[in-house]
A = this chain, B = another copy of it.
């Protein structure tokens, strides 16, 4: 693996989940792999879970870790070419990325979208330029349109909390009984949030559906449909209740509109899941990438119950990061 940016960087989803669970079972088994190697984590935006879990994963693999919080250092990067740099940007991404590549064997990069210009955000210009100029493998720690470590985490969590058998011949998880029904549902928020987490969750679950692992449904209000490039094969519904019927996993997340880009639209009806609204499910477990706004996005009655997987899910962030870093180290 030379980069980790989207579900397209993984072939067999069952295999990578199994490998991640094996890291979870023996966190330090591969600590020789990263010895004398440097992991650099570059944040253009704040991070809590992602930084801690990736840092821990790299350390478990024996790596040294350096963290760069570019946002807080006021280290504004120029990304355009052909610009006379007489303004506020202090360094061009061509030099900044190349230099970090000199110091690190693997780089992680977090860069959020501006949420003003869909075309610009969806071009993933910053991530792609960083990847191009740094000359070393890059792991996305969330980019403008995707959060792949979160999505891999989520897939691990779904499989870990369902009933599957791993078929060694096919190198694939086979559901014992019916395939889990996974629902991604939009939920309310007071701020306009990126589509990265739901886009990414959707592209991973669509692929998981293709590989026979789950059935996947997205519920959102009118106007909140995700970009179609990420939802191919998913069943889209506009009614949370329809989606929840017989569901095994409810993935709750707010996002701003893609169609009316970056906007918060007026929404009718109740979209915040509660224990009451879960009754129609197949005793579903509830997931969220965190941080979650209690009683705005998700009822605290769920979060404080056994139905919530959110803390275990956050814990699994380590194993998603670890399997990705491991694969990159092995390629080298």
Binding site for B on A (CB under 8 A): 27-28, 36, 38, 40, 46-49, 52-53, 55-56, 59-60, 64, 66, 68, 72-75, 78, 81-87, 90-92, 94-96, 98-100, 102-103, 190, 290-296, 300, 303-304, 310-312, 314-315, 318
Which residue of chain B lies nearest to A293 when distances are taken between CB atoms in the complex?
B85
The answer to whether A73 and B48 touch across the interface, beta carbons within 8 angstroms, is yes
**What are 28 A-B pairs with beta-carbon distances under 8 A?**
A27-B36, A38-B56, A40-B52, A46-B73, A46-B75, A48-B91, A56-B66, A56-B103, A59-B64, A72-B72, A78-B294, A81-B300, A83-B294, A83-B295, A84-B296, A85-B293, A85-B295, A85-B296, A87-B190, A91-B290, A91-B291, A92-B292, A94-B303, A95-B292, A95-B310, A98-B311, A99-B290, A99-B311
- B36–A86 touching, CB < 8 Å: no
User: Which chain B positions have C-beta within 8 A of A314?
Assistant: 95, 98-99, 102
Closest to A315 in B: B102
State A45–B190 Cα separation when bound (angstroms). Answer: 27
B27 near A95: Cβ-Cβ < 8 Å? no
Given A46-B74, A73-B46, A95-B311, decide whether A86 and B52 contact each other with a Cβ distance below 8 A.
no
User: In the complex the two chains form, what is the Cα distance from A59 to B38 in whole Å?
Assistant: 10
Q: Determine how many copies of this chain the complex contains.
A: 3
Specify the chain B residue showing the minimal Cβ separation from A133.
B311
In the complex, which of the residues B52, B74, B296, B303 contacts A100, with contact meaning CB atoms closer than 8 Å?
B52
A55-B66, A90-B293, A95-B310 known; 16 new pairs, CB 8 Å cut-off, are A46-B74, A48-B75, A52-B100, A53-B103, A56-B64, A84-B294, A84-B295, A87-B190, A91-B290, A92-B292, A94-B294, A99-B290, A99-B315, A102-B311, A102-B315, A103-B318
Q: Which residues of chain B are within 8 angstroms of A56 by Cβ–Cβ distance?
A: 38, 64, 66, 103
Smallest Cβ distance from A275 to chain B, in angstroms? 15
Q: Which residue of chain B has the shortest Cβ distance to A47 in the bound complex?
A: B73
* Known interface pairs A66-B52, A73-B46, A311-B95; A85-B27 also in contact (CB < 8 Å): no
How many angstroms from the CA of A91 to the CA of B99 in the assembled complex?
A: 35
A35 CB → nearest B CB, Å: 9
Nearest-Cβ distance from residue A192 to partner chain B, whole angstroms:
14
* Closest B residue to A90 using CB positions: B291
Closest chain B residue to A312 by CB distance?
A: B102
Closest CB-CB distance, A101 to chain B, in whole Å? 8
Task: Return chain B residues, CB-CB under 8 Å to A293.
Answer: 85-86, 90
CA distance A311 to B101 in the complex (A): 9
